[in-house]
C-alpha cells in the first residue's frame, strides 16, 4: 500500500466525538496515516482533545464540522443512536464518511445511507476495525494457506466480566443499538462474512444474564456455511458480560489440525495505557504481539492410526488499525477499492436482525440478503 503523499494534498478529517471511540480508536489512527490530516475534533466539553493534539481545531458542535468547506472526511464516533443522523448530515454536507460500528440500528437505515452516499458521490465506510486484529489476520492466513485442511468449525468469543450494570453510560441504556449484540456482534459477524461469505442459515440466543441489566448482555449466534460437496462449516459467535475466565478468542478446527488463540489484540490495551501508533511507513513497529500470547497450532503429521500430531506456538500476524484508514485514504483518492464497504455493514446489521428474530422464534432461519 502506497504511503507516498508528497504530490497529493492531504485529506482533511474531522472526528465527531472524543469519548472512548473517538479518543482510542479514531483520532490516533487518522493522525498516524500519511495523506490524512487530523484537522478538527468535536468535543462538546473540556479541552483534552486539543491537549492531546496541539494544532487541531477544537469544535463544540458537529454543525461546525459539516459547515466547514475545508473538511473532506467526517468520522462519526458519537453514541450509537446518533450514527445515522450524523452520517446523513455529513453526506448531505458533501463529506466522505467513516462511521463507527454499528453503522445503524437497522439494515434499512444502512441501505438509506448507502443510497444517499451514491447520490452524493461520496464514500461511506463502516469502521469494522477488527478485520485488522492480529488474531483474525492469523486465522485468515491459516485458511488461505490451507494449513488446517478443510475448516469444519470456527468458535469465536468476545467475553467480558462486568457483573454490575454501569451507571451514567449510554452503552448500558436501553435502545435498539446499545446492547451487546450491536456492540460486539458487528465485530464477530463481520469477521465471519469476511472469511466465508454469506452463510446458509442462522440460529441464535440473545438474552439477559445479569441480575440487573437494561440491555441484552449475552448472545450465541450459529452460522452454517455450505462448502464444496455439501460439507458443513459451523461458525459460532459468542459474547457475554459474565465471563470471569474468558474462553479462547478463536478455536478453529479442520480436517488436518486446529488453531486455538486466547486473549485480545494488544492495540486497544496499548492505547488505553497511553501509547500512540507510530506513523505508517516509519521504521518503528506497531504493534507486534508478545510471543507469550501467541496461539497454539496443532497439525496432524500422520492421520492414519496411530495418529500423530505436532503442537506448538504459532506467530500471531501483527494487527494494525492504521491499515483501515490507509485504505480509506486510497479509496477517496481513487487509488484502491474500499476494503470494507457499506455493503458489508448492511450484511452485518441484517445478520444481527436475523439473530434477534431467530432467538425470539427459537428457530433456525435461512439467510437471504435480497430485498
> Under a CB-based contact definition with an 8 Å cutoff, are residues 85 and 78 in contact?
no
Q: 250-254 and 124-127: which strand pairing?
A: unpaired
**How far, rounded to the nearest angstrom, does the alpha carbon of residue 93 sit from its chain's CA centroid?**
26
| Residue 162 predicted with pLDDT over 50 | yes
Tell me, what's the pLDDT at 1? 37
Tell me, what's the pLDDT at 327? 98
> Under a CB-based contact definition with an 8 Å cutoff, are residues 31 and 49 in contact?
no
Q: How many CB atoms lie within 10 A of CB 371?
A: 8
For residues 233-241, average pLDDT: 98
Packing angle between helix 83-92 and helix 107-120, nearest 10 degrees?
10
Give residue 371's pLDDT band: very low, low, confident or very high (50, 70, 90).
low
Domains of the chain: 11-129+323-338 (3.40.50.720), 131-320+352-365 (3.30.360.10)
Query: Which strand ranges, in their side-by-side order, compose the sheet holding 73-76?
Result: 57-59, 36-42, 11-16, 73-76, 96-100, 124-127
Measured distance CA(46)–CA(142) in Å, rounded? 46
For residues 194-204, average pLDDT: 97
Which tens digit of pLDDT belongs to each residue from 61-105? 999 999 999 999 999 999 999 999 999 999 999 999 999 999 999
| Residue 367 predicted with pLDDT over 70 | yes
Which tens digit of pLDDT belongs to each residue from 258-314? 999 999 999 999 999 999 999 999 998 899 999 999 999 999 999 899 899 999 999
Q: In the structure grid, which three cell numbers stand for residue 45, read together? A: 466539553
Tell me, what's the pLDDT at 177? 77
Tell me, what's the pLDDT at 167? 87
First vs last Cα of the chain: how many Å apart?
A: 35
Give SS3 for 196: helix
Which tens digit of pLDDT belongs to each residue from 98-156? 999 999 999 999 999 999 999 999 999 999 999 999 999 999 999 999 999 999 999 99
Tell me, what's the pLDDT at 7? 55
pTM flag (> 0.85): yes
DSSP state, residue 85 = H
**Residue found by looking up cell 441504556 in the block:** 173
Measured distance CA(37)–CA(12) in Å, rounded? 5
Amino acid at each position: 500500500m502506497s504511503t507516498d503523499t508528497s504530490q497529493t494534498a492531504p485529506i482533511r478529517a474531522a472526528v465527531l466525538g472524543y469519548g472512548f471511540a473517538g479518543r482510542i480508536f479514531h483520532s490516533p489512527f487518522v493522525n498516524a496515516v500519511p495523506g490524512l490530516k487530523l484537522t478538527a475534533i468535536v468535543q462538546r466539553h473540556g479541552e483534552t482533545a486539543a491537549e492531546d493534539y496541539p494544532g487541531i481545531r477544537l469544535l463544540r458542535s458537529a454543525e461546525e464540522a459539516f459547515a466547514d468547506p475545508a473538511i473532506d472526511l467526517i468520522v462519526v464516533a458519537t453514541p450509537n443512536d446518533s450514527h445515522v443522523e450524523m452520517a446523513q448530515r455529513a453526506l448531505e454536507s458533501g463529506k466522505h464518511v467513516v462511521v463507527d460500528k454499528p453503522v445503524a440500528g437497522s439494515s434499512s437505515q444502512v441501505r438509506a445511507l448507502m443510497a444517499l452516499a451514491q447520490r452524493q458521490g461520496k464514500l461511506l465506510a463502516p469502521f469494522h476495525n477488527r478485520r485488522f486484529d492480529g488474531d483474525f489476520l492469523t486465522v485468515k492466513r491459516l485458511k488461505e494457506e490451507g494449513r488446517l485442511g478443510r475448516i469444519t468449525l470456527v468458535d469465536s468469543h468476545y467475553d467480558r466480566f462486568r457483573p454490575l450494570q454501569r451507571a451514567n453510560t449510554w452503552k448500558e441504556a436501553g435502545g435498539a443499538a446499545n446492547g451487546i449484540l450491536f456492540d460486539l456482534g458487528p465485530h464477530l459477524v463481520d469477521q465471519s462474512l469476511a472469511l466465508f461469505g454469506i452463510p446458509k442459515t442462522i440460529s441464535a440466543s440473545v438474552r439477559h444474564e445479569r441480575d440487573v441489566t437494561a440491555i441484552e448482555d449475552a448472545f450465541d449466534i450459529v452460522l452454517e456455511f455450505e462448502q464444496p460437496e455439501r460439507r458443513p462449516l459451523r461458525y459460532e459467535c459468542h459474547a457475554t458480560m459474565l465471563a470471569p475466565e474468558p474462553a479462547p478468542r478463536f478455536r478453529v478446527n479442520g480436517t488436518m489440525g486446529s488453531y486455538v488463540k486466547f486473549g485480545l489484540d494488544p492495540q486497544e490495551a496499548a492505547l488505553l495505557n497511553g501509547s500512540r501508533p507510530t506513523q505508517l511507513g516509519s521504521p518503528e513497529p506497531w504493534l507486534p504481539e508478545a510471543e507469550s500470547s501467541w496461539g497454539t497450532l496443532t497439525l496432524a503429521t500422520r492421520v492414519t492410526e496411530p495418529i500423530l500430531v505436532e503442537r506448538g506456538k504459532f506467530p500471531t500476524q501483527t494487527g494494525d488499525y492504521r491499515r483501515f484508514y490507509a485504505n480509506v485514504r486510497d479509496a477517496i483518492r481513487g487509488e484502491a477499492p474500499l476494503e470494507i464497504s457499506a455493503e458489508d455493514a448492511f450484511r452485518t446489521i441484517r445478520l444481527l436482525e436475523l439473530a434477534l428474530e431467530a432467538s425470539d422464534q427459537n428457530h433456525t432461519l435461512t439467510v437471504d440478503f435480497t430485498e
